[in-house]
Amino acid sequence: MYQWVLVHRRVDPESVAAALGVPVESAVAALRRLGELCLISPLPTGAGAGYAIPPEVAMAQLAAPGEDRIRREEEWIADRRVLLSGFMPYYYGVDRHRGVGVEVLTSLAEVRSALNHAADRCRTEVLASQPGGGSRSPEAMREALVRDRALLGRGIRMRTLYHHTARFNGPSQAYVEAASCLGGQYRTSHELFGRLIVFDRQLAFVPASDDSWGSVAVRQPWLVAYLCEIFEQTWDRARPFAVAAAEGLEKVAQDIDRTIVELLAAGLKDEAIARRLGMSLRTARRHIADIMQQLGVESRFQAGVAAVRAGLLPD
């Protein structure tokens, strides 16, 4: 129908319907649609005269309102960006030599936003301590891999510490294997000092002291340097991440049991031992029960003495 109008320069439904052999109602609907698309237009002389409009001209006419709206929105965004940039000196310009530079983030949404913002601004290095062994869900691992892939793709150096128990966790194994291929470095330790993420040795995130999902963002240079030193000391003592089966399940299990005996001898409670080793309380108690049964003792004190005699602990 568009081609017919182009050739015959008429837009009256009766002529179109007769020429193309279609019902008049169909011709009316089709001509209306062509008009809505700015592809045809009647002539002011009337009498059914009209003409076809080039598609590129019709596109320009249709797009003009949308392009104008986009231009106004871009101008609005640019204006707000300039306006909000004026607040950045107040946010980042804290007096770091007088103990200022610690911000409490009370909600998970705030923590995620701050972490994403820090990751976007990161230029050289990320240090992370991720206690918990295999407690992170596969979904969390996939989300972390997407974020880490973007960082590693920009040439950011990444080093992460896990508990030894992460070696038994399938999602952790898959995540480390994928991220290692991209340049990430991973080590494990029997004990970790707690959760920590540091960007460019300038901004550190540590957990809030309560059981909430909150976090504390630390920018005070001396505190950040102290946290980085703790990380480096643990990193030096940690071992490269390897799947437990690759090192020998028995050897890894013995290392974990030896650490549990040391903590028992130090008088730590079950909850503290589980937290220090990155395992669930139930798993920790099962290990403790197995160790005490193997040593043939009934009390924690006896376990320490028996462990020394068995050569599991130094005198």
The residue to which tokens 């330790």 are assigned = 189
Does any domain span residue 315? no
Which of helix, strand or coil describes residue 232? helix
Range of the domain at 270: 248-309
Does any domain span residue 92? no
Query: Hey, how many other C-beta atoms are within 10 angstroms of the C-beta on 198?
Result: 24
- Residues 132, 236 within the same domain: yes
- Residues 131, 261 within the same domain: no
- pLDDT of residue 61 exceeding 50, the answer is yes
Does any domain span residue 177? yes
Closest CA to 92 of 202, 222, 205: 202
- Residues 67, 194 within the same domain: no
pLDDT computed for residue 98 by the predictor:
45
pLDDT band at 169 (very low <50, low <70, confident <90, very high): confident
- The predicted-structure confidence for 271-306, as pLDDT tens digits, reads as follows 888 777 777 788 888 888 888 888 777 776 677 677
In the predicted model, what is the mean pLDDT of the chain?
83
Q: What is the mean pLDDT of residues 21-43?
A: 93
- Residues 159, 258 within the same domain: no
pLDDT computed for residue 46 by the predictor:
74
288 vs 229: CA distance, rounded Å: 32
- The predicted-structure confidence for 221-268, as pLDDT tens digits, reads as follows 899 999 999 999 999 988 888 765 555 556 666 777 777 877 777 777
Q: What is the mean pLDDT of residues 170-197?
A: 86
Number of domains in the chain: 4
pLDDT computed for residue 225 by the predictor:
93
- Residues 105, 177 within the same domain: yes
**CATH number, position 41:** 1.10.10
